[in-house]
Amino acid sequence: MDKEPVILAFCCHYCAYAAADMAGSMRLSYPSNIRVLRFPCTGKIEENHILAAFERGVDGVMVAGCLEGGCHFLEGNLRARRRVERVKRMLGEIGIEPQRLEMFNLSSAEGPRFAQIAKEMAQRVAPLGKSPLSKSEAEVERGIGDMQVEAMAEIQGGSK
């Protein structure tokens, strides 16, 4: 087991992913335990994607979508927020702290905001420590890699 909680960021291609890119271009630092996973829209993120992350030993999940009213697909981010709330309730039933999951909104021009929400999420998960389902660092990283491949296949192929 490793010491630092691993946080997976499900990022919308049209905002959070670009903002993360901008944060990098601006040389802004954000916690190194954030792993970014790109989706075409947060509306594409289903409950099983989030649960799969926790099952694979990730310690926290942040879903980052466009500003409300600014979704490229009109209301994908609004759907994502409702799904996140539903998964939070399910996490409580499972026995995992719901605070390990959060939804954020930002625009593609907000590099500093991406760095800020990444820090906020890291600070939120830090006191909770590793997930009760935590695995070794290598297993978690492999799981995230698998999720990246699966997400890409879904995006390109339409379904898993």
Residues that bind another protein (CB under 8 A): 46-48, 51-52, 54-55, 90, 93-96, 132-133
Q: Rank residues 83 and 124 by Cβ distance to another protein and give the closer one.
A: 83
Q: Rank residues 117 and 147 by Cβ distance to another protein and give the closer one.
A: 147
- DSSP code string of the chain: --SSPPEEEEEETTTHHHHHHHHHHTT----TTEEEEEES-GGG--HHHHHHHHHTT-SEEEEEEPPTT-BTTBSHHHHHHHHHHHHHHHHHHHTS-GGGEEEEE--TT-HHHHHHHHHHHHHHHGGG-S-TT---HHHHHHHHHHHHHHHHHHHHHS--
Q: CB 87 → another protein: shortest distance, Å?
A: 9
Q: CB 133 → another protein: shortest distance, Å?
A: 6
Q: Rank residues 94 and 126 by Cβ distance to another protein and give the closer one.
A: 94
Q: CB 117 → another protein: shortest distance, Å?
A: 26
